[in-house]
Structure 1
Amino acid sequence: MKKIIKIVPMLIAGIGFITPAISGPHWGYEGDEIPENWAKLSPDYQMCDIGRNQSPVNIAGTIHAQANALDIHYGLVSGNVVNNGHTVQINDKNTNDYVAIDGEKYKLTQFHFHAPSENQINGQSYPMEAHFVHQNGDGELLVMAVMLEQGNENPTAEEILLALNEKENLPSNINDLDIRSFLPPVNDYYRFSGSLTTPPCSEGVTWIVLKQPVQLSKTEIVKFEHAFKHHNNRPIQPLHGRLIIAN
């Protein structure tokens, strides 16, 4: 199945999103470490407070525009799955999973989950959101987000949950994981310039949010929420005049 999305390339500044559990002062989603306090935890996290192009956002009031093509090339993923204390993350050791923009490849490095969704569409939140994180040879990042709603069982989600070690920071190997079941059949999308949604909140990340959600069963959603132990979504951030492009 061919996936075509169009996008104007942007300069990506933040390269720390390869794993949400980056080194540095501890941060979280509860108590004194809530997102509203991230900038107070370390000088390295100041962008979380002063940034003008922060993520996530509420996608509303979009404009339609012509843009350049994005091709998605995903196969079977091998690597590991880990609960890193912030999310359930799948690290991809393959070199042949990528998206291509204007002939340049952005390799899929990892994908992870948030519950409930971080971004919203016309004020609507979803039970979960998957973030597919890509990086090119210059360290520029592109994150593709897929909204996850309650519905039918997702075989790939079930494989991830079965492989996941209940203890934090103890990865389990995975092989031949078909992540294409996390991609909707229709690839209409929104695009905007944003940031990491975790400290240090670096800006300049190209975000693509697919319009059509993908389904997980209620049981699968509950299992992911149990692994997180608490919500792990950053609150919606102001647009500050940014434009959101819709195809």
Structure 2
Amino acid sequence: MTHSRRLFLIGVPVVAAAAMVTTSASAMATAPHQSPIAIRSRSAVDDPELPELVIDYPDHVDVGVHYIRHDANEPAGCSIRGPEETIEADAPAGSAAVLIGGMRYELLQFHFHTRSEHVLDDHHYSLEQHYVHRGPQGQTLVVALFLTHGGRGGTPQDAVLHTLPQECGKVREIAVNLKKSLPDDLSTFRYDGSLTTAPYTEGVSWLILRQHRAVTDAVVDGFEKLFPKGNARKLQPLNNRTVRYRRQR
């Protein structure tokens, strides 16, 4: 995908691509496009012309759930939970994808943060789930879902997080219904950002689902206990980016 194509995906006018290409290195250094950000729904530009988010997730798939350590040489061994570590579920190659504007993005994995990394209308959610996808030319697209307390159980998120893997534990194979892991309301806030863990690579297309999902109190409490200091990156400045909203119910 060309740079301009990616910008169209999240709703930034194509003419912006040329401006970004010609931006000097020093200017980019003073105005990086990093994630996460605070989103204000009243400030988001309503854009019904954005391409629809199409979900192609299976109703049954075995994912490999494991603890992600970002410093394998950590001298303290397996006792310290790093701020950039998380619980991750790897999807089998070719098993799930999303489509936007006719382009297919394969699901690589999904993982979780506490508290939510993004903020919506000044509200931090208990957890934030990131579905990480890769496009045909190596592009990164992340669909983010807020998770809250109060669920009755039975969601794919409950199944994955019911028994949390320890830092040096083995990979657990869990059968989940990915199709039911997302809400029926697929309205999204979209913007151009970065990875939220090192090396914070930019050029990531973010689609933040407006509708949250509820998981059991035990799941939220268990994840928060595993990461007592949290594992979310602090908010980053918007730096003149435009957040766009695509209603899809």
Aligning the two structures, in what range does the TM-score lie when normalised by the shorter sequence? 0.7 to 0.9
Equivalent runs, 1:227-242 vs 2, <5 Å: 227-242=226-241
Q: Is the alpha carbon distance of 1:225 and 1:168 closer, same or farther for their aligned partners in structure 2, counting shifts above 3 Å?
A: farther
Identity %: 30
Name whichever of 202-211 and 218-227 sits farther off.
Answer: 218-227
Name 2:166's counterpart in structure 1: 166
Q: Distance in 1 between matches of 2:201 and 2:153?
A: 32
Task: Tell me the TM-score normalized by structure 2.
Answer: 0.75
The 5 Å alignment of 1:1-247 reads 8-9=8-9, 52-60=32-40, 61-65=43-47, 66-75=49-58, 76-85=60-69, 86-155=85-154, 156-162=156-162, 164-168=164-168, 170-174=170-174, 176-247=175-246
Q: 1:134, CA displacement in angstroms?
A: 0.3
Between the two proteins, the alignment pairs up a number of residues equal to 202
Contact 2:162 2:219 in 1 (8 A): no
- Structure of higher CA gyration radius: 2
Deviations 1:85-118 (A, max 9, x none): 3001000014130001222210000000000000
Could you report, residue by residue, the CA deviation over 1:65-86 in whole angstroms, capped at 9, with x for unpaired residues? 1211221111123231001130
Cα distance per residue 1:40-61 (max 9 Å; x no partner): xxxxxxxxx8661000000111
Amino acid at match of 1:157: Q
- When the two chains are superposed, the root-mean-square deviation of aligned CA atoms in Å is 1.9
Summarize the Cα distance change of 1:202–1:50 in structure 2 as closer, same or farther, 3 Å threshold. Answer: farther
What runs of 5+ residues in structure 2 fail to find an aligned partner?
1-6, 11-28, 70-84
Q: CA deviation at 1:152?
A: 1.3
Contact 2:53 2:186 (C-alpha < 8 Å) held by counterparts: no
Kept in 1, the 8 Å contact 2:191–2:205? The answer is yes
Q: Distance in 1 between matches of 2:163 and 2:124?
A: 28
CA deviations on 1:189-227 (whole Å, 9 max, x unpaired) are 100000000000010100000001100111110111223
Q: Quick one: structure 1 residues 150 and 164, their matched pair in 2 at CA, closer, same or farther if it must change by over 3 Å?
A: closer
Separation in structure 2 between the aligned mates of residue 8 and residue 151 of structure 1, nearest angstrom:
37
Per-residue Cα deviation, 1:137-173 (whole angstroms, up to 9, x for no partner): 2110100000111111332233213454324353122
Alpha-carbon distance, 1:122 to partner:
1.3
In 1: Cα distance, 2:218 partner to 2:151 partner: 10
Which consecutive residues of structure 1, in runs of 5 or more, have no partner in the other structure? 1-6, 11-48
Work out the CA distance in 1 between the residues paired with 2:121 and 2:94.
Answer: 36
Which stretch shifts more, 154-163 or 111-120? Answer: 154-163
Secondary structure (helix, strand or coil) at the match of 1:9 reads helix
Instruction: Quote how far apart the aligned CAs of 1:121 are.
Output: 0.6
